[in-house]
Structure 1
């Protein structure tokens, strides 16, 4: 389980980016993290993966804190950034092998997983080409495969559908659902309300650094006494005009 408890991030300039938020992502669920630009989504994700330090609060994965055991903590998850930076002088297969070596993935396991995901994301023929020659969408697909190659307990995705073609987007959603059904965790941010509405078991909506709604879609509708779409409720809760 991923647990974020009383997390606050305040920058040196005094800006309060995230204000005392708490949530959990349970084994076997897809958890959507929604909010407008500047709401605190990326700040929260960067704190979870260890790219920025917390001002206060606790973040644990399976009761492990990054401060106590950084290697074990980081072995629990994969992180796909909204604009992933890849080693562009590598070709596709060298990059995947590099990532697999870091996580100690056996040749048998990496070959089996890679063979499956290359078909899912239609990138097989480009794996011998330098990454510098890839389109944005191809880089995104390669980064997704890299995030899956060690079969992490927790998959953290920041706007994962951006730049994907319809088939790749469909297959990524299928993978996310399959992982949750097998007891793993998926935590992702998105601006695509339809995607969140269709595949998330629970969601949290963050606005101006605070969580303004959390739970299943039905729970949120009941709490607000509203029978509206997620998009309509999102706009109301975040005061987006």
Structure 2
């Protein structure tokens, strides 16, 4: 479903290598965790996948489609939740959701069904007629999650999705991620909450200083680490 082939990205006229020759493949039905310390290259990698940054070299393929040669076709299969919920503060919540639904050409009946389902699940239905600028950070995060889910994406990409969510919403999001993958869809997400990654991910990649230093199932990661008790121990060993 997602293939990264030797992608790299530098800043400051090539002096800072944010992502250094990363390659990976993720199959349909996988929850794939992407972990690393601050500044390791996680968000830069995600932005190259979703088309916000162009790789210096290498390619990104989504569902067999080159994301830079056929960007609209590739993006139609993706929903993206960034690490900070960037929304239009002057719109009402319902106006924002309808704007996103229009972008994905979702029918009126289908969008209403999906909106009602996720707004109830994330407990923000009562605020949907309010201006987004009046929302708390957590409410904005729930709105962005709802907007990303109504298109039923084949590839769901999330950057630190649990930040700002209350415990019930975090629980519901984890259940949604697993349900999507049970239906053959793919979830790619970065998180600093290592316990969540350890519990729900089918495979995990750990990135440090722009390079992937380990990738595999929890059992495979344990087999290559001295400290095997938890993902936290493995993570600290590999990134230090």
TM-score, reference length from structure 1: 0.97
1:82-115 CA deviation, whole Å, 9 max, x = no partner? 1021011111111101100110001111111111
Q: Distance in 2 between matches of 1:227 and 1:89?
A: 49
Could you say which residue in structure 2 is the equivalent of 1:80? Answer: 81
The total of aligned residue pairs comes to 239
Q: Distance in 1 between matches of 2:74 and 2:54?
A: 15
SS at 1:4 equivalent: strand
Could you say which residue in structure 2 is the equivalent of 1:207? Answer: 208
Q: Does 1:189 align with 2:202?
A: no
Could you say which residue in structure 2 is the equivalent of 1:128? Answer: 129
Q: Quick check: 2:228–2:234 contact (8 Å CA) kept in 1?
A: no
Q: Distance in 2 between matches of 1:67 and 1:140?
A: 28
Could you say which residue in structure 1 is the equivalent of 2:41? Answer: 40
1:133-144 mapped onto 2 (5 Å cutoff): 133-144=134-145
Q: Distance in 1 between matches of 2:50 and 2:121?
A: 26
Q: Quick check: 2:34–2:188 contact (8 Å CA) kept in 1?
A: yes
Q: Distance in 1 between matches of 2:138 and 2:227?
A: 38
Aligned residues: CA RMSD: 0.9
Could you say which residue in structure 2 is the equivalent of 1:162? Answer: 163
Could you list the structure 1 runs, at least 4 aligned residues long, displaced by more than 2 angstroms after superposition. Answer: 223-227
Q: Does 1:152 align with 2:153?
A: yes
Which blocks of at least 5 consecutive residues in structure 1 are unaligned?
Answer: none
TM-score, reference length from structure 2: 0.97
Q: Cα distance, 1:224 vs. partner?
A: 2.7
Q: Distance in 2 between matches of 1:13 and 1:57?
A: 16
Q: Distance in 1 between matches of 2:59 and 2:70?
A: 14
1:116-168 CA deviation, whole Å, 9 max, x = no partner? 10111000100000001000100000000001111110000000000000010
Q: Distance in 2 between matches of 1:13 and 1:66?
A: 23
Could you say which residue in structure 1 is the equivalent of 2:16? Answer: 15
1:183-241 CA deviation, whole Å, 9 max, x = no partner? 000000000000000000000000001101100001111133553200011001001xx
Q: Distance in 2 between matches of 1:66 and 1:210?
A: 21
Could you say which residue in structure 2 is the equivalent of 1:218? Answer: 219
Q: Cα distance, 1:66 vs. partner?
A: 2.2
Could you say which residue in structure 1 is the equivalent of 2:110? Answer: 109
Could you say which residue in structure 2 is the equivalent of 1:2? Answer: 2
Which blocks of at least 5 consecutive residues in structure 2 are unaligned?
Answer: none
Q: Does 1:29 align with 2:30?
A: yes
Q: Distance in 2 between matches of 1:232 and 1:13?
A: 33
Q: Cα distance, 1:70 vs. partner?
A: 1.3
